[in-house]
């Protein structure tokens, strides 16, 4: 008999999640073969499925199932004027301090002790913090890469870049662009296109998913703070007098989203962000925080951005961003409620919520109790013995049938003995393991094992 020993979510360690993610092909350090690139992560076969399942669920809930939502997919590289008008060129900064002893650079507001260097341990070696802009800058076209971007290598650095000759090149400041630090601006710049093409009634939203890039001073805690990550954002355009009711609407929708991800309600917390801590564009922000193994941290944000962005675009582009209410002369620049979701933080919360350990027949078992709609693999199909061609042939038939009904979500697994296969599938969160045995050959029935209870049921192939 199996003794069940549940590991509560709060005691899950970050190392457990990182180790499982690597061991089972979810997430690897980016550029691992060359020693890695800090703040970047690569998704393996199961990670990419889990991530897509999360992103597709979001798109279905917030775009496909709503009549008031329009999807866009804007370019990552945008005209530099976007980032000037949005305030990012001037204010998207973190405070950076440098240790005069070891030259280590740190984000001042994340230091445990602001007087002590966490790298060399010296005290009083930090000078004044400087504002470090987190946008990755680049040049569009063959007009850049000069001393502005390169400068001299740091003292003692081994410079392998072979940049001789480049330093003398001139550059065109108009060619400067940035990798977008948020997907939101790609939505605002398409607001007018959507209004002109689709004439939506207010309130309506524009949604986008995609990569965002931030040159974080201290990327850390696995995918939690990365330099390249994905966002799922909505800009919801409302009448200026009605922002409060739309804000409440989105509080409710965010909670429905957390439930759909399988996050325990008691692990998600609402933080009303005080004025001093809010982003420059926000008049009200709620951060939804989650109890990660690293502590209670931001999962996503919900902000009232007023008409900050559209008014800036109107000023900078000299094009009207006004909305005219149908059948009236009433015109105004709409205000905006912005639910901003981070994919990596959602994925990490899903893994933490699903991680379990128990004991089966005296042995420790690790499994992911993922909601079935998020699990990368829904069915694993195995012949009981892989050296019996009649079992393998029948199992292939079942595999083909299930794959047709659940494209991309069925795994063929004949490695090792059946116990090992179950362990492997448990660790990747497969809810159902289907085994083809000798009885299958007689009556077309198979066993299906439940991941969470480990109980097996016999059922006919047609009833799976
Ligand atoms: N458009 C508003 C905006 O970008 P934000 O609070 O800076 O607001 C929104 O970011 C969400 O993006 C965060 O709540 C988080 O989920 C995710 N996010 C931000 N920076 C991140 C990073 N360095 N790594 C992973 N996710 C990040």
Interval between CA 300 and ligand 1 midpoint (Å):
7
Cis preceding linkage at 203, omega within 30: yes
Q: Which residue's CA is minimally distant from atom 17 of ligand 1?
A: 342
Q: What is the mean pLDDT of residues 279-306?
A: 96
List the one residue out of 185, 233, 205 whose CA is nearest residue 346: 233
Over the stretch 109-167, which tens digit does the pLDDT of each residue have? 989 999 999 999 999 999 899 999 999 998 888 765 544 455 566 777 777 776 665 66
Which CATH code for domain 377-463?
3.40.50.800
- Give the Å distance between the CA of 212 and the centre of ligand 1: 9
Ligand 1 atom 22 nearest Cα: 225
Best residue among 219, 298, 336, 350 to mutate for probing ligand 1's pocket (most ligand atoms within 8 Å of CB) is 298
Nearest to 30, CA basis, from 22, 38, 20: 38
CA of 45 to the centre of ligand 1 (A): 25
Give residue 213's pLDDT band: very low, low, confident or very high (50, 70, 90).
Answer: very high
pLDDT at 175 (0 to 100): 87
Query: Does the pLDDT of residue 3 top 60, yes or no?
Result: no
Rg (alpha carbons) of the chain, rounded to whole number? 26
Which pLDDT value is given to residue 169? 66
Percent of the chain's residues with pLDDT above 70: 94
Q: Where are the beta strands (DSSP E) in 385-460?
A: 410-412, 432-436, 445-450, 456-460
- pLDDT confidence of residue 160: 72
- Give me ligand 1 centre to Cα 231, in Å: 7
Q: What pLDDT sits at residue 328?
A: 95
Evaluate whether 95 touches 129 at the Cβ level (below 8 Å): yes
Mutational pocket test of ligand 1: of 86, 340, 343, the residue with most ligand atoms within 8 Å of the beta carbon: 340
Contact status, residue 250 vs residue 61, Cβ threshold 8 Å: no
Note the helical H segments in 236-290: 243-260
Measuring CA to CA, which residue among 50, 62, 141, 55 is closest to residue 354? 50
**Which residue has its alpha carbon closest to ligand 1 atom 21?**
225
Q: Assess whether pLDDT exceeds 80 at residue 208.
A: yes
- What pLDDT, in 10s, does the model give residues 384-396? 999 999 999 999 9
Mutate to test the pocket of ligand 1, among 43, 205, 223, 231 (most ligand atoms within 8 A of CB): 231
Please tell me the predicted confidence (pLDDT) of residue 171.
73
Which pLDDT belongs to residue 158?
74
If DSSP codes are grouped into helix, strand and coil, which group holds residue 330? coil
Of all atoms in ligand 1, which is nearest to the CA of residue 287?
14
Phi and psi (nearest 5°) for 383?
Answer: -80, 140
Q: How confident is the model at residue 1 (pLDDT cuts 50, 70, 90)?
A: very low
Q: What is the pLDDT of residue 374?
A: 98
Q: Which of 332, 318, 281, 322 lies closest to 81, judged by CA?
A: 318
pLDDT of residue 144: 58
Residue 7 confidence (pLDDT) above 60:
no
Question: Taking the domains of the chain in order of start, what are their residue ranges?
Answer: 5-78+181-353, 88-177, 377-463
Q: Whose CA is nearest to atom 12 of ligand 1?
A: 342
pLDDT score of 147: 44
User: Cβ atoms within 10 A of the Cβ of 409, count?
Assistant: 17
Q: For atom 2 of ligand 1, which residue has the closest CA?
A: 340
pLDDT digits (tens, 9 = 90+) for 382-428: 999 999 999 999 999 999 999 999 999 999 999 999 999 999 999 99
pLDDT of amino acid 187: 98
Give distance in angstroms: CA of 452 to centre of ligand 1: 33
* Residue the block writes with tokens 């969470």: 452
Closest residue (by CA) to atom 25 of ligand 1? 225
- In Å, how far are 115, 125, 126, 154 from 122, measured between CA atoms? 8, 7, 9, 21
What's the whole-number average pLDDT of the chain?
93
Write the pLDDT tens digit of every residue in 309-368.
999 999 999 999 999 999 999 999 999 999 999 999 999 999 999 999 999 888 999 999
Instruction: Report the CATH superfamily, name and number, of domain 5-78+181-353.
Output: Bira Bifunctional Protein; Domain 2 (3.30.930.10)
Q: Which residues line ligand 1 (CB under 6 A)?
A: 182, 184, 214, 216, 225-226, 229, 231, 233, 298, 300-301, 340, 342, 344-345
Please report the atom of ligand 1 found closest to the CA of residue 219: 23
Instruction: Write the residue with the smallest CA distance to atom 14 of ligand 1.
Output: 300
Q: Is 209 helix (H, G, I), strand (E, B) or coil?
A: strand
Instruction: Please report the atom of ligand 1 found closest to the CA of residue 182.
Output: 4
Task: For a ligand 1 pocket test, name from 110, 301, 303, 343 the mutation site with the most ligand atoms within 8 angstroms of its C-beta.
Answer: 301
Pairing of strands 432-436, 410-412: unpaired
Atom of ligand 1 nearest to the CA of 226: 24
Please choose from 229, 235, 271, 278 the residue to mutate so as to test ligand 1's pocket, defined by most ligand atoms within 8 A of CB. Answer: 229
Dump pLDDT digits (tens) for 24-81.
Answer: 999 999 999 999 999 999 999 999 999 999 999 999 999 999 999 999 999 999 999 9
Mean pLDDT of 367-378: 98
Tell the residue nearest (CA) to atom 7 of ligand 1. Answer: 182
pLDDT at 163: 64
Bridge partners of 355? 368
Residue that wins the pLDDT comparison between 220 and 155: 220
The per-residue pLDDT for 174 is 87
Task: Please give the distance, rounded to the nearest whole angstrom, from the Cα atom of residue 111 to the centre of ligand 1.
Answer: 20
Query: What pLDDT does 139 receive?
Result: 85
Probe residue for ligand 1, chosen from 338, 342, 346 as the CB with the greatest number of ligand atoms within 8 Å: 342
């Amino acid at each position: 008999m199996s003794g069940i020993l549940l590991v509560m979510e709060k005691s899950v360690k970050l190392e457990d999640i990182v180790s499982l993610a690597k061991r089972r092909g979810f997430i690897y350090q980016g550029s691992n073969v060359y020693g890695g690139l800090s703040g970047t992560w690569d998704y393996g076969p199961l990670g990419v499925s889990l991530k897509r399942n999360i992103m597709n669920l979001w798109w279905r809930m917030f775009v496909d199932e709503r009549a008031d939502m329009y999807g866009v997919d804007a370019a990552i590289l945008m005209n530099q004027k976007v980032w000037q008008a949005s305030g990012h060129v001037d204010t998207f900064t973190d405070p950076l301090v440098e240790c005069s002893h070891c030259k280590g650079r740190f984000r001042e507001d994340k230091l445990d002790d602001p007087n002590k260097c966490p790298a060399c341990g010296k005290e009083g070696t930090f000078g004044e913090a400087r504002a470090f802009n987190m946008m990755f800058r680049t040049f569009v076209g063959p007009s850049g890469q000069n001393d502005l971007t390169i400068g001299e290598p740091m003292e003692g650095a081994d410079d392998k870049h072979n940049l001789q000759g480049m330093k003398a090149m001139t550059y065109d400041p108009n060619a400067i662009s940035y990798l977008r630090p948020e997907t939101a601006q790609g939505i605002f710049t398409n607001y007018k296109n959507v209004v002109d093409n689709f004439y939506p009634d207010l309130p309506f939203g524009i949604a986008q998913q995609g990569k965002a890039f931030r040159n974080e001073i201290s990327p850390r805690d696995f995918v939690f703070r990365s330099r390249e990550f994905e966002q799922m954002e909505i800009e919801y355009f409302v009448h200026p007098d009605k922002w409060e009711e739309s804000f409440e609407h989105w509080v409710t929708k965010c909670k429905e989203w957390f439930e759909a991800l399988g996050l325990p309600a008691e692990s998600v917390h609402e933080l009303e962000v005080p004025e001093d801590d809010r982003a420059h564009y926000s008049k009200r922000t709620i951060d939804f925080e989650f109890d990660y193994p690293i502590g209670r941290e931001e999962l996503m944000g919900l902000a009232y951005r007023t008409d900050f962005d559209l008014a800036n675009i109107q000023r900078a582009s000299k094009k009207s961003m006004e909305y005219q209410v149908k059948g009236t002369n009433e015109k105004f620049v709409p205000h905006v409620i912005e639910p901003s979701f981070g994919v990596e933080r959602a994925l990490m919360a899903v893994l933490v919520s699903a991680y379990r350990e128990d004991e089966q027949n005296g042995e420790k078992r690790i499994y992911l109790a993922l909601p079935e709609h998020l699990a990368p693999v829904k069915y694993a199909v195995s012949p009981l013995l892989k050296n019996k061609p009649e079992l393998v042939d029948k199992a292939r038939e079942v595999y083909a049938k299930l794959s047709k009904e659940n494209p991309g979500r069925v795994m063929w697994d004949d490695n090792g003995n059946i116990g090992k296969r179950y362990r492997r599938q448990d660790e990747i969160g497969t809810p159902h393991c289907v085994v083809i045995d000798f009885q299958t050959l007689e009556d077309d029935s198979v066993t299906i094992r439940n991941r969470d209870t480990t109980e097996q049921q016999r059922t006919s192939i047609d009833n799976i």
